[in-house]
Structure 1
């Protein structure tokens, strides 16, 4: 019996490191033909080189750029003419209190994490509809379920991703669109997202050091959970014990979960680890 992904064309954004890279490696090992993007050209080339003949297209692209998404869609139209799965993985973080975060940085986080996903879904939908059964996988976060201090734009973007993904699923069901839509909720994953977090108040180093102490799951483990969820077409995919815990706390104590979550995540140490 062959792999679910044998011969399937899968687009993964943000493959230069972390979950995106680990997922691309796992799908390649299962016979997928990959379309890879990352904003960091050097990292993209390194990932693409390591995956060899599994790579159909490797294109430097900014997830928040309409132009880059349209160029990628055209490459697919001119090539295979369809797409089996879209994994919107690319993302960024920022750190700092809202009143210390510039409008420019706030909007950048929203554009990369949320608006880029909506553009990608719009541009790739016609190609996904040409698949036997298309699949969209949007990466939100446990921070699309609950909030902690000093991450306002990140929370706003990830809550938006969750809402958009669930609403898009409803739209497709109502219209009979032959595309499944999944929402991924990772907990703390040992990636470089915290190290690359931007800040207007100069506290990103302290945040990155603290994140290393609370991230529980490797990118490779996260990739396995996502791939299993993709295979099963699970509407919501939680990754890590912290994600399961947060999901329950948010459901059971929607008004007071912060009294438990903040001490659990040791948020007081985020600016002074």
Structure 2
């Protein structure tokens, strides 16, 4: 399957994996409809895509706004005459224990990561099912394979995306629709997600971002985009991005529920690193 001449929708296209996917898809000849809450960022992505000579539409859209997503989907179908692939990339992260976190932060993470994914897929699915070879691509995380302390909001949202996607894949098969459904599980990818994240009281955002960017994030967004598109082309149910994501998947399979006994020690080690990082500032 080739993306040449296809119409692809990407949310969260202003930065990170979403931006890299938009540029790579346009390079492969796909026409792209891009959205992001940051209008300037998605406009810049659009300019890069236009250099490939494909048709590009860019809008400022909040994925948590159901009416806005419906309007975006209708406008895209009207302009492009159909939709072949949807990449629901938009997401945010939060770090902090439940006791120290504001409930509004939990609500926000679930709204963007889970409800935003549902809004995106629900709005565009009627158009994708009419494609001769449609694709729905959602984004969970390595944190959707195992849970960790202080990432309860993020874990919850990414486990929810995983369950939603697996159910949808079965629905498409049951209904006989020619739509493949893929869930992507990125490990550490060099994006600004942590730097732009939400943090509970007592957390050190700068140290957390520095630790992620220097110790965790090993995969470039452009590498991630190539891996994801290869998996989507092969109609895979699951795409693991990065050696760390593959390791987490094996660990979750082998350790079973016992992994929950090991993660607090790992978080204590991370906390020690963050405190050292804070002292070095």
- TM-score, normalised on structure 1? 0.94
3-state SS of 2:17 partner: helix
1:104-115 correspondence runs (5 A): 104-115=104-115
Gaps of 5+ in 2: none
In 2, the alpha carbon distance for the partners of 1:96 and 1:260 equals: 18
Cα contact 1:134–1:179 (8 A) shared by 2: yes
* Aligned equivalent of 2:212: 211
Q: Name the CA shift for 1:154/1:33 in 2 (closer, same or farther; >3 Å).
A: same
Structure 1 residue aligned with 2:198:
198
2-side partners of 1:45 and 1:264: how far apart? 40
Which deviates the most, 49-58 or 150-159?
49-58
1:164 alignment partner in structure 2: 164
Shift of 1:269: 3.5
Residue 189 of structure 1 and its aligned partner are, at CA, apart by 0.6
Match of 2:9 among 2, 8, 11: 11
Which secondary structure does the structure 2 equivalent of 1:255 belong to? helix
CA distance in 2, matches of 1:166, 1:224: 22
2: distance between equivalents of 1:9 and 1:253?
A: 41
Pairwise CA distance, 1:183: 0.4
Q: Say yes or no: does 1:234 pair with 2:233.
A: no
The aligned counterpart of 2:223 is 221
Number of aligned residues: 271
Separation of aligned partners in 2, 1:145 and 1:270? 24
CA distance in structure 2 between the partners assigned to 1:77 and 1:241 by the alignment: 37
Contact in 2 for aligned 1:10/1:35 (Cα 8 Å): yes
Q: CA RMSD in A?
A: 1.7
User: In the aligned structure 2, how far is the partner of 1:57 from the partner of 1:270?
Assistant: 43
Q: What is residue 143 of structure 1 aligned with on the other side?
A: 143
Q: Answer yes or no: is the 8 Å Cα contact 1:148–1:267 preserved in 2.
A: no
Gaps of 5+ in 1: none
Q: Is this contact kept in 2: 1:207–1:270, CA < 8 A?
A: no
Do structure 1's residue 100 and structure 2's residue 100 form an aligned pair?
yes
Structure 1 residues 55-92: Cα deviation after superposition (integer angstroms, max 9, x where no partner): 43111111211022111112023222310000001100
Relative to 1, partners in 2 of residues 1:103 and 1:120: Cα closer, same or farther, differing over 3 Å? same
The answer to whether the 8 A contact 2:139-2:161 is kept is yes
**Mean Cα displacement is larger for which, 103-112 or 210-219?**
210-219
Equivalent-residue separation in structure 2 for 1:11 and 1:38 (angstroms): 11
Residues 1:108 and 1:125: Cα distance change in structure 2 (over 3 Å)? same
Contact 1:138–1:182 (Cα < 8 Å) also in 2: yes
TM-score (norm 2): 0.92
Answer yes or no: is the 8 Å Cα contact 1:63–1:117 preserved in 2.
yes
Matched ranges for 1:1-273 at <5 A: 4-52=2-50, 53-203=53-203, 204-212=205-213, 213-258=215-260, 266-269=269-272, 271-272=274-275, 273=277
Shift of 1:262: 5.8
